[in-house]
Amino acid sequence: MATFRQRVLKREILKGTFLNLGSPITVEIAGKAGFDWLLIDTEHGVGDHETLVHQLQATGNTQAEPFVRIAANETPRYKRVLDLGARGVMVPWVSNVKEAKLAVKSMRYPPQGIRGVASLNRACQFGQDFENYYASANKELVTVVQIETVEAVENAEEMASIDGIDVLFVGPTDLTTNYGISRQFDHPSYREAIARVIVACTSAGKAAGRILSNN
């Protein structure tokens, strides 16, 4: 059976939703609705690290893959959410190759990356499944970077080509705002940016993500 990351890289249409209320019940309801993935938002959402663990636990009663959007592209933030059991991380405001490579390294254990190794956390069943988790994490966890700046669009091709970058996900409000056309989702500049990201992903064998309600 294909892993979720393999399904992503095959560019299957995988549907999900953003969750920003900090509520485990809301997470569980969304998971029961049939989404393929759930994105728990710690960038703009009201939940903190303590509420995150309960939200991740709530996904365990569903078939949805649990993702977390961290607040910033800072290495310690990755291991905090991955150790709790997130199967993917969405990284906001990634605009260039250097930032994209930092995201990949922060997602992976050495020697491929710089993620700190701990064996007694929720992700590896508090030590019971550490060896299996350690052996598979670098290959199975999903890295999603958000395209939210003009610079990011201009660097989309290079970022998509990086091994370990799996999804370029357009952040529509930030991107249009940075283009000076805030929330004008039918504007030609925004449409051209979307098209460029899609072509970059397709050419590199990666997936493109977008929020359908704003398009």
Residue 183 exposed, middle or buried by CB count within 10 Å (0-12, 13-18, 19+)? exposed
Instruction: Give the DSSP H or E segment for 38.
Output: strand 37-41
Is-catalytic flag, 44?
Answer: yes
Domains of the chain: total: 1
Residue 196: both structure tokens together? 């460029």
pLDDT value at residue 1: 79
Mean pLDDT for the chain?
97
Q: Is the pLDDT of residue 130 over 90?
A: yes
Domain containing 131 — which CATH number? 3.20.20.60
For residue 93, the enclosing domain spans 4-214
Per-residue pLDDT tens for 187-201? 999 999 999 999 999
Residue 176 pLDDT class (50, 70, 90 cuts): very high
- Can you give the pTM of this predicted structure? 0.97
Residue 39: both structure tokens together? 């994105």
pLDDT value at residue 215: 46
In angstroms, the CA 86 to CA 142 distance is 9
Annotated catalytic residue: which of 44, 49, 54, 187? 44
Residue 107 exposed, middle or buried by CB count within 10 Å (0-12, 13-18, 19+)? buried
